Structure 1
């Protein structure tokens, strides 16, 4: 049985560990512990307000969030990567179901977008828009008890083979405990903030210093608008959005997904 090391125990890491455990020997390395910690925020200039959207701990950010599903915008995809995403759309509903989404994600998303687009068309307003669908599920993803997990990992060293491949990983915890693990495959699932650092460290060991592979990597929106002022000419359409949100609130009580719209002005 081949060995897989997963770096990060958030949504991706936990999900992959649970799916692969029957066919591989899976080990998870996690920066945090059983109790989550919230890293301090750094504000460049002005502090407008903040909310907790990131943490370290077993389960990663699923300790905080609602398992909301957002389809990746085309504008954010590299040309080559776009083809990969397009091919993976076949698995979208299966992945959503694993995250407790009660219906077809793709069908429900299209339905909501059609409703929003109809309202925009009624006032001749051109926008790029999308929606986040939130299933009735706010519990963190739990790793199966058969998967070995090392917590509070503060340092990872990669031991290289003759063919410029990583054949084992040495992890050290904050208590000083060190262990060497065999690795046929390494899956980096450290999130939008952690993964760039992990990938960059691996590339440096391979003497690849000019790669942009880990630059700008992010897996979800990191900024949110909490208070807005609606222009007079758009107040009616905004009220319609509120009405739709009220309807979906009733649906979520029956395990249907909640929908929120977000708009990008060209």
Structure 2
């Protein structure tokens, strides 16, 4: 049986592992370890904020090791996660189909999305969990003609306890994450090597022979890189494979107001969304801003926040990502729209305060083109190397990408099974 190495256990890597194990012998490489939800007492930590103990976001990995934090030159916080399941363990559980950019270059993934809906419980039936303030925001957006819609979630949300910790890991087994696919692959015989950092791919005569890691050399007949939009380009460049300087990160900026007993900090994250031109708006309690942004020093239960998630310009690299003037203008439009919504709620928009600009959905540095719509294989890659993550997206999504990455990974798995 041929040996396959898959680098990364997030949405893409876990999906490929599940699909290929049994036809190939899969070894799944993960830089982190087993994921554990955040276990410290948040009310106690909220009490400590007044002592200014939380000085910088870079302190987060000290208390929550899965998080990885860096800063761009213009002070945007970049976030991703390591550990079994990748960043899916820290998502809001959103399961949106966001493939308009792929369709433009001739890629149709109907079959793959259909399969995922059969394999994962996906439902938008969670309005019973919404707080009163969220319901009012939804009504206002509807009345303004913004066409809000409940966001489909992956998981068993009838069991949700409204703890508000979605982005810190679900302690109650409600939210789906990619570790479930990893477990399924392992049951079929896949091997997981954790705490294993990949340095580069060994290539000879346009074929990969293995990978260099902190565990030494690992050999394979096929290598699939799914280390995420920040890390996959680094591995490829270290291997002598050129990537494009077209990184997008889907920046997030929250606009918040003081609203007594909003209780958004005890509610599912991103319960509904409004699709705008180049960005979305969604209710979201931003833990990052709450603990590290001094403007957010009021009690968590009294903060009501709307998230702006931007489809930013595809420009830059992980070490040099900046937002363009157009991106900043779009964010300003989003801020004004959020303030308008809050004004309809009866809150003075002049009292709104902004969160910390951050981003955690990177991709786009090896974008698919119409020429690769059938092969999903960039000609720069060795013939037995594939990429299976958001690096393949031809344009920024401005939307949660998890389900679409998994659909891509399914198609790539099918191509591999047919060709190899």
Is the structural similarity TM-score above 0.5?
yes
Which residue in the other structure is 1:199 paired with? 236
**Contact 1:128 1:263 survives alignment (8 Å):** no
Partners of 2:19 and 2:94 lie apart in 1 by 21
Cα separation, partners in 2 of 1:61 and 1:44, compared to 1, 3 Å: same
Give the equivalent residue in structure 2 for 1:134.
153
Cα distance between partner residues in 2 of 1:217 and 1:16: 23
Query: Relative to structure 1, is the Cα distance of residues 228 and 99 closer, same or farther in structure 2, using a 3 angstrom cutoff?
Result: same
Q: TM-score, normalised by structure 1?
A: 0.61
Q: Distance in 2 between matches of 1:14 and 1:172?
A: 19
Residue 26 of structure 1 and its aligned partner are, at CA, apart by 0.4
Residue 149, structure 1, aligned to residue 207, structure 2? no
- Deviation digits for residues 38-81 of structure 1 (CA, Å, limit 9, x no counterpart): 2233153457xx7x95211121112212331233363x45953x
Structure 1 residue 132, shift from structure 2 partner:
4.1
| Partner of residue 179, structure 1 | 217
Contact conserved, 1:5 with 1:187, CA < 8 A, in 2? yes
Question: 1:89 maps to what in 2?
Answer: 110
Structure 1's 141 and 73: CA in aligned 2 closer, same or farther, altered over 3 A?
closer
1:161-180 alignment runs, 5 A limit: 161-162=204-205, 164-166=206-208, 168-173=209-214, 177-180=215-218
Under a length normalisation based on structure 2, what TM-score does the superposition of the two structures give?
A: 0.41
Structure 1: give runs of 5+ residues left out of the alignment: 104-115, 230-248
Contact 1:11 1:60 survives alignment (8 Å): yes
Separation in 2, partners of 1:217, 1:262: 22
Does residue 1:70 correspond to 2:96, yes or no? yes
Match in the other structure for 1:9 = 9
SS for the counterpart of 1:5 is strand
Counting matched residue pairs gives: 204
- Once the two structures are superposed, residues 170-217 of structure 1 have per-residue CA deviations (whole angstroms, 9 ceiling, x without a partner) of 3322xxx3132222x222211222222233334x25xxx4x53xx335
- Cα distance in 2 for residues equivalent to 1:99 and 1:198: 30
Whether the 8 Å contact between 1:30 and 1:150 is mirrored in structure 2 is: yes
Q: CA deviation at 1:24?
A: 0.8
Residues 132, 261 of structure 1: 8 Å contact kept: no
Question: Shift of residue 25 of structure 1?
Answer: 0.5
Aligned counterpart for 1:100 among listed residues 121, 128, 137? 121
Query: Quick check: 2:66–2:82 contact (8 Å CA) kept in 1?
Result: yes
Structure 1 residues 201-220: aligned runs within 5 Å = 201-202=238-239, 204=240, 209=242, 212=244, 215-217=245-247
* CA-atom RMSD in angstroms: 3.8
Structure 2, unmatched stretches of 5+, are: 36-64, 125-137, 158-173, 258-266, 279-329, 331-420
Report what 1:38 is aligned to.
67
Whether 1:159 and 2:202 are equivalent positions in the alignment is yes
CA contact (8 A) 1:53 1:61 kept: no
- The answer to whether the Cα contact below 8 Å between 2:123 and 2:153 also exists between their aligned partners in 1 is no
Task: Give the secondary structure class of the aligned counterpart of 1:222.
Answer: coil
Deviations, residues 81-108 of structure 1 (Å, cap 9, x unaligned)? xx12xx21232122233332158xxxxx
1-structure distance, mates of 2:97, 2:79 = 19
Deviation at 1:139, TM superposition (A): 4.2
Q: Determine which of 62, 80, 86 is the counterpart of 1:60.
A: 86
CA 1:79–1:93: 2 relative to 1, 3 Å: closer
Q: How far is the alpha carbon of 1:3 from its aligned partner?
A: 1.7
